[in-house]
A and B are shown apart, each in its own frame.
Chain A
Amino acid sequence: MPTCVGQYVIKVCGRCDLACDHCYVYEHADQTWRHKPKVMADETVARAASRISEHARRHRLARVSVVLHGGEPLLLGHDRLRGLLHTLRSVIDPVTRLSLVLHTNGVRLDEGFCDLFARYGVRVGVSLDGDRAANDRHRLFADGRSSHDQVLAALALLNRPDHRYLFAGILCTVDVANDPIDVYEAVLAQAPPNLDLLLPHATWDNPPAGRAGGQTPYAAWLGKIHARWVLDGRPVPIRFFNSLLAAWEGRESGSESAGLDPVDLLVIDTDGGWEQADSLKTAYDGAPETGMNVFSHSVDEAAAHPSLDARRTGIDGLSPACRACPVVRACGGGLYAHRYKSGSGFDNPSVYCDDLKVLIPQVTSAPLPAAAAARTGSAEPAQRSSPHQLGVEAFDLLSAGPGDRAAMRALAAVMHSVNRALVVEVARRLGDGSSVPGRAAADGWRLLRQLDAEHPEAVREVLTYPYVQAWAMRLLGPVEVAGADLYRAHLGGIAAAAALRAGVEAEVTLPVLDGAVHLPAAGAFVVGAGTGPVARVRVSPSGVTAASSRGEWQAVRQVSAAGVTVTLDDVDPFRYSQTWMAAGRLPDATWELSRRGLQAAVGLLAAELPDYTEALRAGLRSVVPIVPSGTAPRESGSARQAFGTVALLLPDQAGSLSELLLHEMQHVKLAALVTMFDLFDRRDGSLFPVPWRTDERPFEGLLHGAYAHLAVAELWRTRAMAAPDEQTVARYRTYRSWVEDAITVMLASGCLQPLGERFVTGMRGTVKGWDDDW
């Protein structure tokens, strides 16, 4: 199956106005820059854009990310950069949502560039190595002058209220000769929304500076910053630390530097050459090259290059030493380039291995911010409200597998309260309203409060839409979102959607997110390239029209079958998850096939397992069509931060689809139940082998898997009873044995709280009822 590529780095300029002596582009092993164009030609830009667009169309990608990089991309100047951005937007925007980021040394950033970035929706990252002394250690002009003043001026420009939403973050390259706390304080003084601390590129042939035998200076240096950062309450997301932690916890690291995420990133050099990540420039001359270019090779062809393919094999692709290492889950063998050694190539641990082994336990064992601010717990709130409750009978029906309509309604009510709290908290954190998105957010919040008082049912319908929760969780999570002002302005979209449901006339300013403005559960207006950060829409009982710009309305379409009505949402900007890639707007023919496929699956499920379908009717609000990642034969997903949604690869065979729907809905139910109650000891970090995966899982993963497979076993039991052929019975037995084994492990684990024990015992009761089967 071809690999989808969702991330591209375009080297728009092959030269730089600084002469940093630690730069991997010019000062390390690869010197191919000398023979390549200084600036990417217009026709190369156009070809690159069409290749990206072609790939997104072929694979129905809902979003791609493009990083403009160099050298120094601002050397292009305003006019040339404007042309480049226009080309990218005009070619890619009609096909998929384009996220644009530019990384700069900051020296040339001015008001004109910021206007350009606002117009074309480009977020900006800046390099800064610390205070003046630290920055001047490497980041100098060719004549030895400091760049520090210019960089601080650039950061001040990005921190201005009207530009702040464009600020993506700061990259800081580690030099252990600098004082880590001085560096930390100097960088944080620039108030970046995100920060990363980069290990300087090095290999076993060219080891990092500052090492004496047996010492781990990089662990010590980063460890000091980490300790201070934790003490400070993690005031800014630090990517390297967060990536290590995410990978350790079994989530995607979201970074090349940590974890085992499969490679889905390609670089396009100034000559149009397809390349691997350019950190490989540190390894040997020509290391990143694939021998392919945008003029003669598609993204699919470049992505299938053997070197890239080899980096999609997870732990199996690592050296024997890494595979046996207790922290490999976090580091994933380290950045690929850092593993290089002449002779053995990349089949080695990272040259930073010893440092990582010291640093990772510190990072993964530090208390999380919320845990550090432990609840006072016992005090009764001053405000009038009481805890949500669930009837024992409803709880027991859920533990048996399906639950019922009442149980699902109770869980949905819990999530309604959760979403109200989350939205109020997002609103509490609104800024002073001095920026355009800030004003839009404040206006949206005002309208939403008004509608809530006058049309509470309409507001409830919108606030319980799954991606409203996903939106709020993203904004409130520990990782500050770049462009958070724009995201907060989505409050206006929520208000507009509620006004539409209530039949109230309103004119609302909404943020342009990935080329469109969005009304949850209703639809999106796709606005033209260069619209700016916001657009106004008019809502009335007759529908939605664009007030300030022309746009194409894309309604969220619904599917109904067997009493189940859900949206098949292919437009909401928050329908993504870490574990699936959402499909873009489905063409009519594809949508029709998907609709029929989903109807057939729900119809089949209603016939085979009517009690489970009852829970589906009460709890499922939306299905996200996804694109294949190529990592599993059948793909589907659910997300804890989006109650009431499942992600499915559509269309598919009804029998297969109904099984996936059933499986994912179990996760949806259990996630809500776990939000409501303490079923197990969350502090217990034990890992357990599970029969359905090769890796060990934390207790929550064990419980989730067992609960999902309980339903799947029941489905195959039903099928086996209807047609007891050998294959069907074998599948039933497999799922049943998985559940039985997991229940045994859970009951003996010591991790279950009293209510959790009741829940797992309820699951066991269902399986016991099958004792007389084959």
Chain B
Amino acid sequence: MLAGKGQIMSQLVRDGLRSRSIQDLQDVTLEELAGWAQDGDSPIQDIVRQMMDDGHGQQPVNETKFNSAIS
């Protein structure tokens, strides 16, 4: 049986509000993170995927709107 929202919330509060996929990378050096990034399933990729999923990475598709040129 699926838990109700109230139950889930109680559990969240009890366990602490943990981010869905943002790992704390503040104390890991960039050198070390560069090594992690070679692994396709690292916290780096989790964060990058999530940011793109959220639409954060969507950019204007072209610097010029002019139909007959591309940039």
Interface on A for B, CB 8 Å cutoff? Answer: 7, 9, 65, 67, 69, 99, 101, 103, 123, 125, 168-171, 194-196, 198, 237, 239, 242-243, 246, 249, 251-257, 261, 264-265, 277-279, 335, 368-371, 373, 375-376, 379, 381-392, 395, 413-414, 416-418, 420-425, 427-428, 448-449, 452-453, 456, 459-460, 473-474, 476-479, 481-482, 578, 640-641, 674-678, 682, 754-755, 757-758
Separation of A9 and B70 alpha carbons in the complex (Å): 12
Separation of A146 and B17 alpha carbons in the complex (Å): 65
A366 to chain B, nearest CB (A): 14
- Interface class of chain A by DSSP: mixed
Selected A-B contacts with CB under 8 Å, 15 pairs: A242-B61, A279-B67, A376-B41, A385-B23, A386-B23, A387-B24, A421-B25, A422-B48, A423-B30, A428-B37, A428-B44, A453-B31, A476-B48, A482-B71, A677-B20
Residues of A within 8 A of B56 (CB): 473, 640-641, 675
3 nearest interchain CB pairs?
Answer: A477-B57, A421-B47, A254-B60
Contact A452 B64 (CB under 8 A): no
Residues of B within 8 A of A169 (CB): 70-71
Contact B23 A387 (CB under 8 A): yes
Partner of A473, one of B6, B34, B57, B61: B57
A211 to chain B, nearest CB (A): 21
Kindly report which residue of chain A lies nearest to residue B16, judged by CB atoms. Answer: A389
Residues of A within 8 A of B23 (CB): 381, 385-388, 417
Contact A449 B71 (CB under 8 A): no
Kindly report which residue of chain A lies nearest to residue B3, judged by CB atoms. Answer: A754
B51 to chain A, nearest CB (A): 7
B interface size (C-beta, 8 A): 58
A257-B67 contact in complex given A386-B24, A392-B13, A578-B59, C-beta closer than 8 Å: yes
Residues of A within 8 A of B37 (CB): 424-425, 427-428
Contact B17 A755 (CB under 8 A): yes
Contact B71 A123 (CB under 8 A): yes
Contact B9 A424 (CB under 8 A): no
> How does the 8 Å CB contact mask read for B19-60 relative to A, with 1 for contact and 0 for none?
111111110111101101111011111111111111111111
Kindly report which residue of chain B lies nearest to residue A170, judged by CB atoms. Answer: B70
Separation of A387 and B24 alpha carbons in the complex (Å): 6
Partner of B62, one of A194, A376, A425: A194
Separation of A237 and B60 alpha carbons in the complex (Å): 11
Separation of A87 and B23 alpha carbons in the complex (Å): 51
Residues of B within 8 A of A456 (CB): 29
B52 to chain A, nearest CB (A): 4
Contact A65 B71 (CB under 8 A): yes
Contact B54 A7 (CB under 8 A): no
